[in-house]
Chains A and B, each alone.
Chain A
Amino acid sequence: MGDWTHKHLLDLQDVSREDIELVLDTARSFREVSEREVKKVPALRGRTVAMLFAEPSTRTRVSFELAAKRLSADTLSIQAAASSLTKGETILDTALNIQAMNVDLVVVRHQASGVPQMLAAGTKMAVVNAGDGCRAHPTQALLDMFTIREKLGRLDNVKVAIIGDILHSRVARSNIAGLTKMGAKVTVCGPSTLLPIGIEEMGVEAVYDINRALKDADVVMALRMQKERQQQSFLPSVAEYVREFCVTADRLKKARPGALVMHPGPTNRGIEIAAEVADGPQSVILEQVTNGIAIRMAVLYLLLGRKV
């Protein structure tokens, strides 16, 4: 097993294939902890982990919190101001206050891209990015890769189709960064207004036709489609989006038999994914949630645990 050398986890762009493998392998050894009757190991006893969330999030925050607790870390959760613009203290100032309480690691979620970098540069704490703007959500991508690897036994040459609003998706960006590094073939598909300029330079194929994207796919990942995109004139209507891009049982037949269906949640059933698909036999959506805890335990452990 390689050695973890990073102080922070900000973006999968910054880490190597070996780093990703190390996280996935470590997560596998932690998954069993959550299945015990006593779901706790003393790995991070005495360490403090703060959740600094400036954006509403239930599942990611809870997942990090459980991960930290199952490693015996003390945790606290802070709701930060949505933006430095909305008066009051800046996010950096909030973080410095947390640091002054001798917190070891801060998990940050913010609607502005680059905030985790700002905290990493401006504080002494380890920083884990739990989602910044449209930029990155590295632990989501890691848990997605973990789930794929567990189910299919590999990531190399796996064909992944990511469907939906790529432009605004940090999940898509982190998955693209991680999956391409691991040798997977990624196709992104969505309305032309929601495929960002230059996305091919991230090493993916971009198509508008969902049937083409799904053809022979090993993994189909649907992204959340926010209804506001209609008002912002990215879409003529949600109904047209559903007709063109909803992952339905019929369309899923184009993919490899037994292809995995994934979604980062929360799902808009009937919009980006049909209920029968989300609940169907190919869906691993809830396993993603379960694996999320193991991944986040691995990340916290690698960043903090071995320094004691």
Chain B
Amino acid sequence: MSILIINARVVNASGESAAACDIRIDNGRIERMAPQISRNGEQIIDAVGKLVLPGFIDLHVHLREPGREDKETIATGSQAAVKGGFTSIFCMPNTTPAIDTAQVVQYILDQARKVGLVNVYPVGAITKGRAGVEITEMMDLRRAGCLGLSDDGRGLMNAGLMRRALEYARMSGLLIMQHCEDETLSNKGAMNESAVSTLLGLKGDPLVSETVIIARDIELARYLSARVHFMHISSARSVELIRRAKAEGVPVTCEATPHHFALTEDLVKTFNTAAKVNPPLRGWDDVAAIRAGLKDGTIDCIATDHAPHTQEDKEVEFDAAPPGLIGLETAFGLVVKELVNPGILTMAQVVERMSGAPARIMGLESKGVIAAGKDADIVIVDMNREWTVSREDTVSKSKNSPFLGQRLQGRVVATICGGRVVYEE
């Protein structure tokens, strides 16, 4: 069935279209865009008063399947994704078993196809079992469908192994996505190391556990002319290191999460375990630097690090709670509230950070832009809608959000993925 979106005010990374147009979708692709397209029995979607954007692409999601289906499944995670306006999501390999063989990749792709809501791209592990000892069969992972590799949840601390991984990944055409953490420095810290951790008597994870890995990998990337993508960067110093590396032409990219541009470590003072996350929430200077990095493009994209945990897992002592929070459904509302409304990002820049750049980083050539011939992955948003984050409204299987009760602005009203309406409010 074809779809005709009428009165579409399209925003691409290149800018907002001057006038509304109609968009005809057929066979999973955008067939035509014109001021007025005559109707021919298509399903009509009227986008008057709304904005029409390329579907969001999230490079960092935890779907928990296989292994922890009590926290999230490919089905529930897909539902949360399309409700948040995401049409492509990259799921991290810290599953049980880890995504370190073609068989696990195949399993996830099969499940995702059965669910049929969103494009799911499994991220393979860099090392077998994410143990940081031997590299995975990267060629095999690539053939099975991986585009990127990460040991997410664990940093690759062995510099020699990182070198080999970068070299081998280059041959296999895979992007290495680094979880930037030197565990000898983070030392099981429960929050950012600062005057606040001192006050609260919680073990601190200093920002240098992140920056020493970034600094080292910039040197490796430069030496090998190899691409590295830094995941969920959280500190001002990280932004500065990457800004300088990019200015020198080192092929690095990075992402930041909504919680790292929206929240500070002060939230930990309540001992709310929803505020426990890795890397930890940091100080206001860091939040300001993340925002500035998103504005000037040092930070290429926004990724959620959607990390579902059950109530049982989170309702424990702060020290004992697993890190992570859910983010797919609140990402866009937080972007509007914290970045668009204060004038930090234009909507075109939002599209670049949430669709254009992630598509480019992962080599998804037919995604990330609304144009004739491209994949029909589209999200329609109402910029004026205010809404309150609540457990009841959350479709993710887990409800571990520090934003519960917050008022956000900007809401997804419809999501089209592969030419099918996969979410409609």
Residue interface bits A96-137, CB-to-B below 8 A is 1, else 0 = 000000000000001111110110000000000000111110
- CA distance in complex: A198, B183 (Å): 22
Interface positions, chain B 305-364, Cβ under 8 Å from A, are 315-320
**Pick the contact of A113 from B194, B202, B315, B316 — CB < 8 Å?**
B202
Given contacts A133-B201, A170-B201, contact A201 B319 (CB under 8 A): no
Is A38 among interface residues, defined by CB-CB distance under 8 A? no
Which partner residue on chain B sits nearest A85 by CB separation? B320
- CA distance in complex: A113, B316 (Å): 11
The answer to whether B195 and A198 have CB atoms under 8 Å apart is: yes
Given contacts A197-B195, A198-B195, A201-B195, contact A135 B202 (CB under 8 A): yes
- CA distance in complex: A113, B319 (Å): 7
- B40 CB to nearest A CB, Å: 60
Interface positions, chain B 152-203, Cβ under 8 Å from A, are 193-203
Is B271 among interface residues, defined by CB-CB distance under 8 A? yes
The answer to whether B271 and A110 have CB atoms under 8 Å apart is: no
Residue interface bits A182-206, CB-to-B below 8 A is 1, else 0 = 0000000000000011110110000
Given contacts A197-B193, A197-B195, A201-B195, contact A135 B317 (CB under 8 A): no
The answer to whether A118 and B271 have CB atoms under 8 Å apart is: yes
The answer to whether B204 and A197 have CB atoms under 8 Å apart is: yes
Which partner residue on chain A sits nearest B271 by CB separation? A114
Which partner residue on chain B sits nearest A174 by CB separation? B201
- CA distance in complex: A132, B316 (Å): 14
Given contacts A113-B201, A196-B198, A197-B204, contact A84 B316 (CB under 8 A): yes
Is A72 among interface residues, defined by CB-CB distance under 8 A? no
Is A83 among interface residues, defined by CB-CB distance under 8 A? yes
Which partner residue on chain A sits nearest B203 by CB separation? A134
Point out the residues of chain A lying under 8 angstroms from B198, CB to CB: 196-199, 201-202
- CA distance in complex: A13, B318 (Å): 19
Point out the residues of chain B lying under 8 angstroms from A133, CB to CB: 201-202, 319
- A196 CB to nearest B CB, Å: 4
Given contacts A83-B320, A114-B271, A197-B193, contact A13 B199 (CB under 8 A): yes
Point out the residues of chain A lying under 8 angstroms from B200, CB to CB: 113-114, 135
- CA distance in complex: A134, B200 (Å): 8
- B184 CB to nearest A CB, Å: 10
**Pick the contact of A112 from B196, B204, B206, B319 — CB < 8 Å?**
B319
The answer to whether A112 and B195 have CB atoms under 8 Å apart is: no
- CA distance in complex: A191, B201 (Å): 18
- CA distance in complex: A136, B317 (Å): 15
Point out the residues of chain A lying under 8 angstroms from B197, CB to CB: 196-198
The answer to whether B317 and A197 have CB atoms under 8 Å apart is: no
The answer to whether A92 and B202 have CB atoms under 8 Å apart is: no
Point out the residues of chain B lying under 8 angstroms from A136, CB to CB: 201
Which partner residue on chain B sits nearest A115 by CB separation? B317
Is A94 among interface residues, defined by CB-CB distance under 8 A? no
- A121 CB to nearest B CB, Å: 9
Which partner residue on chain A sits nearest B321 by CB separation? A84
Given contacts A133-B202, A136-B201, contact A113 B195 (CB under 8 A): no
Residue interface bits B269-288, CB-to-A below 8 A is 1, else 0 = 01100000000000000000
The answer to whether B315 and A90 have CB atoms under 8 Å apart is: yes
**What are 16 A-B pairs with beta-carbon distances under 8 A?**
A84-B316, A84-B320, A90-B316, A114-B317, A117-B271, A118-B271, A132-B201, A133-B202, A133-B319, A134-B201, A173-B199, A197-B197, A197-B198, A198-B196, A198-B199, A202-B198
Closest 4 CB pairs of A and B: A198-B195, A135-B201, A112-B317, A134-B201
Interface residues of A (CB under 8 A from B): 13, 83-85, 90-92, 110-115, 117-118, 132-136, 170, 173, 196-199, 201-202
